[in-house]
Amino acid sequence: MKTAEIDDVLARTLEDGRLSRGEKKALGSLFGGDTTDVESLNFIRHRAFAMARDHMSDNQGRQVVDWLEELIKVLNAAPAPDEHPSSTSAAYFSPGDACLKRIIGLIGNARRRADICVFTITDDRIARALRQAHERGVALRIITDNDKANDLGSDVSSLLRAGIPLRVDRSPHHMHHKFAIFDGSVMVTGSYNWTRSAADFNAENLVVTDDVGLLGEFQDVFDGMWTELGAVS
């Protein structure tokens, strides 16, 4: 790809001062993968930094960009980690309280933030743990399905009254995810619904992992959905 073509692609993504999810995917497809060697990627980074400098209105801003570019070079020169870094994962199953206890334990251990994206919340024990986390200063964000939010026994209203930020899917289809990310370092996912019937009767599963790659992918999905969905009125 010629320099002018690279500049044109970068300029179009710079127009609104942010990278949308679609733009990230497009850039990844265009510049990533096995077809782009390290030297080419370094040149693309150089052009991106040059373009950023051109958009700066003061010298101090350009100095910051200079510093950032040098820092990126140092980081790129650092020894690469193992291609498959070690991670810790565990599986839990219901009926029984194994899944419930693990979820409540992770909520209780959260110190900074928890992003939760679940189809339904009707288990008062989990809702109580979420309210307690909110009260001790954990930054919670919850996404759930709009239809299930209005079900008899749903704890969504109590979480809203507690002041916990919550958004619901408003599409004609169900938001059927069941995952949560705690402090950006560990996540849970699986078939397990956050309901009493899931603990008491259903055959369900829950996987807990600190795999960095999976955490990043799930966090991107959550952040994208949170941006797209409006706050509950």
Complete edge-to-edge strand list for the sheet that includes strand 186-189: 89-94, 204-209, 186-189, 178-182, 113-118, 139-145, 166-169
> What are the pLDDT digits (tens) for 66-84?
777 776 766 665 555 554 4
Contacts of 47 (CB under 8 A, 6+ apart): 3, 6, 7, 10
What is the C-alpha separation between 180 and 195, in angstroms, rounded?
Answer: 15
Q: Which residues are catalytic?
A: 176, 178, 183
pLDDT of residue 77: 59
pLDDT of residue 57: 74
What is the C-alpha separation between 149 and 144, in angstroms, rounded?
Answer: 7
CATH class of 89-228: alpha beta
Q: Which residues of the chain have pLDDT under 50?
A: 35, 83-84, 233
> What are the pLDDT digits (tens) for 153-184?
577 888 989 999 999 887 778 899 999 999 99
pLDDT of residue 136: 93
Whether the model clears a pTM of 0.85, i.e. scores above it, the answer is no
pLDDT of residue 233: 47
pLDDT of residue 44: 79
Domain residue ranges of the chain, discontinuous segments joined by +: 3-77, 89-228
What is the C-alpha separation between 26 and 10, in angstroms, rounded?
Answer: 11
What is the C-alpha separation between 192 and 211, in angstroms, rounded?
Answer: 19
- Give how far the C-alpha of residue 66 lies from the chain's centroid of Cα atoms, to the nearest Å: 29
Sign of CA dihedral 23, 29, 35, 37: positive
Q: How many CB atoms lie within 10 A of CB 47?
A: 16
pLDDT of residue 207: 98
Polymer length in residues for the chain: 233
